[in-house]
Amino acid sequence: MSETAVKTTAEPTAEEVRDTKIYLGWSMTDAEYERAVGMLGRLPNYTEAGLFAVMWSEHCCYKSSTPILKSFPTTGPRVLQGPGEGAGIVDIGNGKAVVFKAESHNHPSAVEPFEGAATGVGGILRDIFSMGARPVAVLDSLRFGELTAAHAKDVDRNKFLVDQVVAGISSYGNCIGVPTVGGETEFDSCYEGNPLVNVMCVGLIDVKDIQKGRAAGAGNSIMYVGATTGRDGIHGATFASEEFGEGNETQRSAVQVGDPFMEKQLVEACLDVIHNHNDILVGIQDMGAAGLVSSSAEMASKAGTGLYLKLDDVPQRETNMTPYEMMLSESQERMLLCVRAGHEDEIKKIFTAYGLDAVTIGRVTDDGQYTLEHKGAVVADIPVRALTDDAPEYHLPDSEPARLKGLRAVDASAASLKITNPSETFLDLLASPTVASKEHIWHTYDSQVLTNTVIRPGSDAAVIRVRDTDTALAMTTDCNGRYIYLDPEIGGKIAVAEAASNIVASGATPLAITDCLNYGSPENPEVMYDLKRSAAGISAACRTFETPVISGNVSLYNETSHEAVYPTPMIGMVGLLEHTDHITTQAFKNPGDAIYLLTGPQGIRPDFAGSEVQKLTTGSIGGVLADVDLDAIAATQRALLTAIRAGFVASAHDVSEGGVAVALAESAFGFDSASGDGRENPQAEVLGVDVTLDLDDPLLFAETVGSFVVSVPAGKVEQFEASVAATSPEAAATLLGHVSDDGMLNILTNGDGIRVATMSAKKVWKESLACLLN
């Protein structure tokens, strides 16, 4: 280790870094700076201080959330790779595995929505193919502010953010040739200053091709491949580790700029190396958050080695770049490879054929040091562990949020909703942005490229076939931040239960989850309470549904001027269909099919707290969130899945926002992507429902988790009922009526019920979001 700090050209001295406390602008505290000084036994120079700041940022080392993440179940009989690598991996049989992960790009998307969202897609794609997998699907989970002037401070900006984020996602995904197959979008005022842009990617891999991000073997070469390095994205990781204030929208230099066409070449070149030259590839990792320093230091840390990098050899697209800038740049479409010594030219030839740079910039050492050289001088000399394993870890205090007492006192009874005309309330719900069709968003996405998509956006989960097998994968993203806001632990359970319901309704067995944990500042004890308690709920649900957490992302400081977003732990789940014959959609299929309500033993409960109907009719949310019986929900899901596999089910749709009434309507609206071409059911104009529910009118809109609207062919009613009773005595299958051909939604209750023409309701549901945005 160097005994003195080395000053780099035109940068502050180590003493100036200390005296001016420039590191505070990088979200590094005084205590953390002193910790770095103690580890080095000297003052860090400007470059070294920057390396510590970014590697110890919340975004990179999860210093405030690591103790909480350790509570998640991460193992299982099918899990081949859990958290700790670029993505998680689950065995799906036939020598194949599914690779998936979700990432957030919230802060970049708030200040530069198109590039922020686009590079979010690019980054998560690289996480997937760095494991050796080919990306086959992208999903998103988006949160924006309100779209009406009555509920938003700046409705025009909210609309601009929606337009540009969606454009960024579609542009990158469409250009690179990976289908965007599903997702969710919700709107609430708390997201106005800080939208949430979470992106999930799913890949497929032969088990024999699995890669790890390791720089092992002293003397082996470190090769930089892909795009050149510029000054974009410098300190993007620390930018994502602080809350928004008045000046944050000017921080566009922290936002990266993507090139999907170059990334397409990078995908193919990397997979070429992995599949055809695996004997000379030691490790591979994406240069994502914190760029070159993060990827290289993490690869050395996982292998227990050191690294020597010569920065003069780093491909640069701008002149006079300093070591600090090169190491912290988050320029896109770059990967780092560890290659067996003597085979560098072989790797270079491959990447050259794809029109990409491939340059040897360093070597693996056995001294455990992270050493950087520039213009003949050592500009950084730090123990690898100091940047990675020995990063600070905080056990921050938590306290129950003061808001909860007031929220629990809110009347969330059916009477509080004051529903006098259920048909009118029903249509208003269909028009609300969170419930309304998101076709205006997903029609811009190419969901069919690669020709594996069986169910496109619009059903409970997307489904893609696994080529050369009879199997398929179902995938979904889900979370309702309102529930976590009302009760973090119960809300955490609901997030996983809803995702599992989406997977099961498509005919698949849930396998595992990834997550994006979106919260406010961890320095606020109330935010830490939300994070800890919701994590406990997520863990409990994952154990019940046997869906371990195999990857994920934590995004904190999602707040503007000390006002945090709803705690929003997005759950991305993947399930396995053991045969494509089991694929199920939410659309009713034929007149005369029986319609059932499948629930737990309690049936539909008055679950109005945090519901869409509560927000619609009262203008706010509140009340006591009823706990959920995870075992009963799992039993109901088993009953449905067993019936689907036996061929007794024509359609299935989980009850969520808007309750049973909306679930019935959406099933009757006739979206049928099972044909593979995404066209709507040709009978959509004539299908309706004739059903009777032994419920008061408000309960039509209750959001009871773990409930399903199921249609059954007329000739299989007895088999369906017997199957449910035999599989899960806890499940209740209540016959409501049948699918009709008169084009009317006739929903009778103990009150006025609902009577609306299918096409009138569908027009409201389908056109509302487009009208609001345009």
Any idea which residues carry the catalytic annotation?
59, 105
Which residues face 377 on adjacent strands? Answer: 374
Task: Give the DSSP letter of residue 193.
Answer: S
Strand partners, 337: 223, 284
Please check whether residue 363 is in contact with residue 222, taking contact to mean a CB–CB distance below 8 angstroms.
Answer: yes
**Assigned token pair, 705:** 């988790």
Helix then strand count (H, E) for the chain reads 26, 28
DSSP string covering 96-126: EEEEEEEEE-HHHHHHSHHHHHHHHHHHHHH
The pair of three-digit structure tokens given for residue 671, joined into one six-digit string: 């979206």
Residue 349 and residue 748: Cα distance in Å, rounded? 70
* Residue from 69, 84, 66, 53 nearest 386 by CA: 53
Dihedrals φ, ψ of 324, to 5°? -55, -45
Beta bridge partners of 592: none
- Helix (H), strand (E) at residue 384: helix 384-387
| Residue written as token pair 């208003």 | 428
The pair of structure tokens assigned to 669 is: 């609206």
Cα dihedral 93→677→573→656 (10° resolution): -140
**Quick check: helix, strand or coil at residue 130?**
coil
Residue 208 vs residues 204, 268, 286, 420: alpha-carbon distances, Å: 12, 18, 20, 62
- What value, to the nearest 5°, has the Cα angle with vertex 223 and ends 219 and 228? 155
The answer to whether 223 and 336 have CB atoms below 8 angstroms apart is yes
Query: Could you give the CA distance from residue 61 to residue 290 in angstroms, rounded to a whole number?
Result: 11
- Cα 228 to Cα 314: distance, rounded to the nearest angstrom: 8
Angle of helix 260-276 relative to helix 155-176, nearest 10 degrees, comes to 40
Distance between CA 352 and CA 501 in Å, rounded? 47
CB 307 within 8 A of CB 222: yes
Residue 31, classed as helix, strand or coil, is helix
**First-to-last C-alpha distance (Å) of the chain:** 61
Q: Which residues, 6+ apart, have CB-to-CB distance to 246 below 8 Å?
A: 561
Beta pairing class for 472-478 and 462-465: antiparallel
**Per-position DSSP letters for 285-315, written without gaps between them:** EE--TTHHHHHHHHHHHHHT-EEEEEGGGS-
Residue 535 three-state SS: helix
Tell me if 762 sits within 8 A of 684, measured CB to CB: yes
739 closest CA partner among 655, 698, 679, 681: 681
**For residues 440 and 624, is the Cβ–Cβ distance under 8 A?**
no
Query: For residue 214, which phi and psi values (nearest 5 degrees)?
Result: -130, 140
Residue 671 DSSP symbol: B
Conformational region of residue 743, where left means phi above 0, alpha means psi within -120 to 50, and beta covers everything else? left
Residues in contact with 715: Cβ distance below 8 Å, sequence separation at least 6, in sequence order: none
Instruction: Tell me, rounded to whole angstroms, the distance of Cα 601 from its chain centroid.
Output: 32
H/E element, 378: strand 377-383
CB 773 within 8 A of CB 444: no
The single-letter code of the amino acid at 507 is: G
